[in-house]
Chains A and B, each alone.
Chain A
Amino acid sequence: MAARTLTIDGRLVSARAGESILEAARDAGIHIPTLCYLDGLSEVGACRLCLVEVAGSNRLLPACLTPVSEGMEVQTATERLREHRRAIVELLFAERNHVCAVCVASGNCELQNLAIQVGMTHVRYDYLNPVCAVDISHPQFGIDHNRCVLCARCVRACDEVEGVHTWDVAGRGIHARVITDLGVPWGQAETCTSCGKCLLACPTGAIFRRGTSVAELERDPKRIAQIVAARQERW
């Protein structure tokens, strides 16, 4: 495929045509924070953490969804972007109930890591303290809505990789929740194959393996991309 040359943060970078800014940046070792993006799944551009500045556009563009073009000039870490990213992470922490000290994912959580990356030392916004359910009706897994960031990675992993679509999102705005089947407890979701791909995909402590205790949850989200790649080789 044809190559494209662009600059990212002033560095000359070459990329394949059709590649996203995010992929090009990562290939060049430039880190752009993401949360809803997961290698192997479709991009949805929902978390807005990967927004970058592109010369000639006065809008901020999601790196995960914006294809590179010849001569493009990208800035990934301007003061404005850094401020926005920190605010977005803060908004997420204030939205639901994140108590890392007692969370299964602590130490292995993308949200926690993001907070460290963006330098979030405290939250300026009101904690909304919503009342969120924990569903442990499934024999192997559980979902704790207190920790969910609505990235929809579980939804896409289930739909696109497992091909089942047990997960979806219901409700609007702050009341949106991930659901299984048509809103039944997970254990009653007849479509669920118990494959665990949602667990692999989940960036936080929202979906966990039952019996896991504080800071014990380990999973490797790269497995999703490996599964997808392995299939492509085979088919």
Chain B
Amino acid sequence: MDLAELHAIAERERARRKAVRVLCCTSSGCQASRSLELFHQLEAAVTATGQDEAVEVASVGCMGFCGQGPMVRVEPANLLFERVRPEQAPEIIAALAGQPCSVERGDPNHPFFTRQMHVVRRNGGIIDPERIEEYIAAGGYEALYRVLHDFSPAEVIQEITRSGLRGRGGAGYPTGLKWATVAKSPGERKFVVCNGDEGDPGAFMDRSILESDPHLVLEGMAIAAYAVGAHEGYIFVRGEYPLAIQRLNRAINQARKLGLLGSQIFETAFDFKVEIRVGAGAFVCGEETALIASIEGRRGQPRPRPPYPAEKGLWGFPTLINNVETFANIVPIIENGADWYAAIGTEKSKGTKVFALTGKVRNTGLIEVPMGMTLREIVEDLGGGSPDGTPVKAVQTGGPSGGCIPARLFDTPVDYESLAAAGSIMGSGGMVVMDDHTSMVEIARFYMAFCMDESCGKCVPCRVGTVQMHRLLSKIAAGQATPVDLEQLEQLCRLVRETSLCGLGQSAPNPVLSTLRYFREEYEALLREDAAASANGKP
């Protein structure tokens, strides 16, 4: 495979395209609403109306507006159909010929779409993720070619460093710096690992990227491997993501057949092979040291760092671990340059971020916005505010490691530092909108229940402390707690945060701390003063 052959594939693919493309989302979200059946009905309708010459129906990845799925889009007319039932397929196809159509129409000019900026989701809902030709026709694997021929590994790292990209797995560690550390670490073998565990409740950004554009992630991993000097890679995906696994498998096989993965890629000396590892769906396995243990076939438990995986990772060799979305940013950066990327976002948080917007908002789904957009813009403009007019009270970001930001702080820009200053974190990108009917104590209790169930059990403060915190929160929620219980809850927050071994325990108190910080009166309103008095007298 060389550049001419790559271009020839792209040309053939463009020539194959028909004048009208009916794009039907077949990602998990829409599949759950029968989009596969819809896809086949659309194909049948095209054939039945004799339009095979001019119209093609394509199975594509996620378009983002998952709350309104299944979604169908028609190009080039830019028609959008929402909540389409399979029976409505003939009507949609008839609409192409100008017939009236009663299927619910979406507005492609809705702020939900126009306010977004697609960098990592640029092919989502546009290409068929199961056909490498479509990815190549969209410019795929050219970045890898350029890197292998025109860049030294150090130059790749420099480019990623200059772009300002920070890890999208939660903590926002500078990606270039991590790559440089792995590149510098001595080791006979090195590994690149893609973290696709995605255990946060409510999050499905990484799943969507893997389902909609698996080659983008593979190409990003290959570039990373070249940069750090690795020849072997693993993608760790949770078993609950069968479609992502299936599409990744297919993508790896296709890329291997074309010589885009494997040995002597693009006829250079660079070898890189990738394998999938399926996780059993434990939240803690997303933690990098637990993930490594899991790939090695051991019990998925974290170990103290240092040593960091960059120095001692898989089987003791230097290992680069990045999140799915982090890898998905690499190709756009190489294609458009670090300066282009660094111009998007804020001073310290560059680029875009994908969020799963859910909860009490009109428009739920996946959005990709430039860093620095305010919470208000996201909730009100893209999200369309609360569906029934109840005032919005807070947004939860960062999942079980994050916190709740009250509505009065909605002018907070979404970047790593601002969210942290507001007592939450960027996390992997879950965003849950809450309205005035939501009890913040219940929210804190929900996340504590999650951490308690997901604690690996290795260290005492997390294993037992989260259970005790959950009991106290239940007691408060049930109106049976006293001020002493609240004090004890706060003490436990400090203990668990300061003494737990890994990020799970260290961040488990965050939802409690942030709700206490902004909604303390809700806790206090639930305390029983009379019990307080009698508790002092009790043994």
- Residue in A91, A149, A176 whose CB lies within 8 Å of B468: A91
A103 within 8 A of B: no
In contact, A173 and B457 (Cβ under 8 angstroms):
yes
B398 within 8 A of A: no
Decide yes or no: A51 and B455 within 8 Å by CB, A91-B468, A92-B460, A174-B463 being known contacts. no
In contact, B501 and A128 (Cβ under 8 angstroms):
no
B177 CB, min distance to chain A CBs, angstroms? 19
Decide yes or no: A174 and B467 within 8 Å by CB, A48-B460, A65-B304 being known contacts. yes
In contact, B499 and A48 (Cβ under 8 angstroms):
yes
A214 within 8 A of B: no
Bitwise, B442-473 to A at CB < 8 A (1) or not (0) is 00000000001111111111011111100100
Note all chain A residues with C-beta closer than 8 A to B455: 172-174
In contact, A169 and B299 (Cβ under 8 angstroms):
yes
Decide yes or no: A173 and B453 within 8 Å by CB, A47-B460, A48-B501, A91-B468 being known contacts. yes
In contact, A91 and B304 (Cβ under 8 angstroms):
no
Decide yes or no: A94 and B468 within 8 Å by CB, A62-B304, A175-B457 being known contacts. yes
Chain A residues 113 to 131 lying within 8 A of chain B, measured CB to CB, are 124-126, 128
The number of residue pairs between A and B whose CB atoms lie closer than 8 Å in the complex comes to 92
CA gap between A179 and B147 in the complex, in Å: 50
Chain B residues 490 to 538 lying within 8 A of chain A, measured CB to CB, are 491-492, 495, 498-501
A136 within 8 A of B: no
A150 within 8 A of B: yes
B152 within 8 A of A: no
B145 CB, min distance to chain A CBs, angstroms? 44
Decide yes or no: A88 and B499 within 8 Å by CB, A124-B488, A126-B468 being known contacts. yes
Note all chain B residues with C-beta closer than 8 A to A128: 464, 467
- Residue in A45, A48, A173 whose CB lies within 8 Å of B461: A48
In contact, A92 and B501 (Cβ under 8 angstroms):
no
Of B453, B463, B501, most buried by chain A (CB within 10 Å of CB) is: B463
- Residue in B452, B458, B461 whose CB lies within 8 Å of A91: B461
- Residue in A65, A87, A173 whose CB lies within 8 Å of B454: A173
Decide yes or no: A87 and B491 within 8 Å by CB, A169-B299, A174-B463 being known contacts. yes
Bitwise, A74-111 to B at CB < 8 A (1) or not (0) is 00000010001001100110110000000000000000
CA gap between A3 and B412 in the complex, in Å: 51
B282 within 8 A of A: yes
Residue ID in chain A nearest B475 by CB atoms: A126
CA gap between A84 and B488 in the complex, in Å: 13
Decide yes or no: A87 and B495 within 8 Å by CB, A45-B304, A65-B304, A173-B452 being known contacts. yes
A214 CB, min distance to chain B CBs, angstroms? 26
Given contacts A51-B499, A92-B464, 12 further A-B pairs with CB under 8 A are: A44-B458, A46-B460, A48-B460, A87-B461, A91-B465, A95-B464, A95-B467, A128-B467, A172-B284, A173-B455, A176-B457, A176-B463
What are 8 A-B pairs at a CB distance below 8 A?
A45-B304, A48-B459, A60-B499, A84-B499, A172-B282, A173-B454, A173-B457, A173-B467
B interface, CB within 8 angstroms of A: 282, 284, 299, 303-304, 452-461, 463-468, 471, 488, 491-492, 495, 498-501
